[in-house]
Structure 1
Amino acid sequence: RPLAPRGLRDAPAAGRALATGSLPDLALCSTAVRARRTWELVSAEWATPPPVRYDRRLYAAGVTDLLEVVREAPADVRTLLLVGHNPGLEELVRALASDGLDDTLDRVREKFPTCAIAVLAWHGPGWPALAPGGALLTSVTVARGGKR
């Protein structure tokens, strides 16, 4: 199904919010129409968007499947962006984060709304070694654009 009007407003705001930090080296995006459109609107906010890989495994995926896809990221990718769906992404954030700065982990446990951006930091030998409880949740932003 197509992206809802709220998604059309919020996705560019997500792109602007992401642009204030470190842009990803690679984006992994679900093949769903809504996810693809979200990616188009998010990446349109950046002067030089990173490459994107569309992966059907991200659609309706749980933690195990999402983690499998992430572990396949190339070794030279330092910052990875996932564009997908809940509840899977919310569950992945909670599974990966051993802790969070300030109240970020509590906020994710309470609610992870549409167009939420969770930033996790991880220092490991490579993506294949990423494991549950191995990351720090550094921030959570809920991008909102336009009038409600």
Structure 2
Amino acid sequence: MDAAVAGRKLADTGIAFDLAVCSTSVRTRETWKLAVHEFPERPKTVYEERVYEASPGELIALLNETPDDAQNVLLVGHNPGIQGLADILAGAAEGDARERMNRLGFPAAAYAVLSFTGSWKTLEPGVGTLVDYWTPTE
């Protein structure tokens, strides 16, 4: 299944996720269960109903609430909000990541990795760099 492959690919990035924020929908919970099984260590997981049908702005507001001791956060959610969030946060992109993301979209199990410097409270449009993008449709 694509979710397990996505989990392996994310694990291969070497990012140690401190926190996963997952929508409460059945599909995202099932996706997360399959993906996290591939991680060397399971991050703390919070199931958050506000992720469901959230706009990029609502997702930024939710991420602004993240405690600063969580350095690497994984957000498991839905389109169009997730793709919009990645696009809005990415003031820059490495390689062809943005072009591929815009062309291929965010089918189930796709992911984008963004980095930024600062407190979660300072997360806002344009502060991030899109460093990786993967979709099972490639």
Task: Tell me which interval the TM-score lies in, with the shorter structure as reference length.
Answer: over 0.9
The whole-number CA distance in structure 2 between the counterparts of 1:47 and 1:94 is: 29
What's the counterpart of residue 12 of structure 2?
20
- TM-score (structure 2 length as normaliser): 0.93
Q: Contact 2:22/2:47 (CA < 8 Å) preserved in 1?
A: yes
Q: Contact 2:11/2:40 (CA < 8 Å) preserved in 1?
A: no
Runs of 4+ in 1 over 2 A off after TM superposition: none
What's the counterpart of residue 110 of structure 2?
116
What's the counterpart of residue 80 of structure 1?
73
What's the counterpart of residue 106 of structure 1?
99
What's the counterpart of residue 33 of structure 1?
26
What's the counterpart of residue 61 of structure 1?
54
**Aligned residue pairs, count:** 135
CA offsets per residue over residues 90-110 of structure 1, 9 Å max, x none? 000000001111111112222
Which one is further off, 21-30 or 108-117? 108-117
Q: Contact 1:98/1:135 (CA < 8 Å) preserved in 2?
A: yes
Q: What is the alpha-carbon root mean square deviation over aligned residues?
A: 1.1
CA offsets per residue over residues 54-97 of structure 1, 9 Å max, x none? 00000011011101111111110110000000000000000000
What's the counterpart of residue 4 of structure 1?
none
Deviation at 1:14, TM superposition (A): 0.8
Greater gyration radius: 1
Q: Contact 1:117/1:143 (CA < 8 Å) preserved in 2?
A: no
What's the counterpart of residue 92 of structure 1?
85
The whole-number CA distance in structure 2 between the counterparts of 1:88 and 1:113 is: 10
Which structure 2 residue ranges, 5 or more long, are not aligned? none
The whole-number CA distance in structure 2 between the counterparts of 1:113 and 1:121 is: 19
The whole-number CA distance in structure 2 between the counterparts of 1:37 and 1:14 is: 13
Amino acid at match of 1:44: H
Q: Per the alignment, in what secondary structure is the counterpart of residue 77 of structure 1?
A: coil
